[in-house]
Amino acid sequence: MSEVVQADRVHVLQRLRDLRDWARFIHESLKSDQPFESGKRELLEAYMGPEFLREFDSDSARLTERLDQMIERIESSAVPAERAAICTR
């Protein structure tokens, strides 16, 4: 028989925050070039097309928003004593 593992809220929230940070990184890295990667956006646009980049930009922003919603919902569902144990960034 397989055993069900109960994830604790703090661990789940930490993973969701990590995913949200990665989603933000992806979104921000597509919006602007770093000093060592000048022309990245233009190169991606040449290979993928401007419409693809616009959709990708929108998708990555939406993913960040959805992860924020998940985090907020889980945090708000905690009873006051549990909220004290949930560290936020």
pLDDT digits (tens, 9 = 90+) for 64-75: 999 999 999 988
> Would you say the pTM of this structure is higher than 0.95?
no
Range of the domain at 56: 9-85
Q: Which amino acid is at 49?
A: G
Predicted confidence (pLDDT) at residue 27 exceeds the cutoff of 60? yes
Q: Give me the pLDDT at residue 60, please.
A: 93
Q: pLDDT: is 80 or 11 the higher one?
A: 11
* Residue 64: per-residue pLDDT: 96
Q: Burial of 30 by CB count in 10 Å (0-12 exposed, 13-18 middle, 19+ buried)? A: middle
Within-domain flag for 2: no
In a domain, 1, yes or no: no
86 with 9: CB under 8 angstroms?
yes
Number of separate domains in the chain: 1
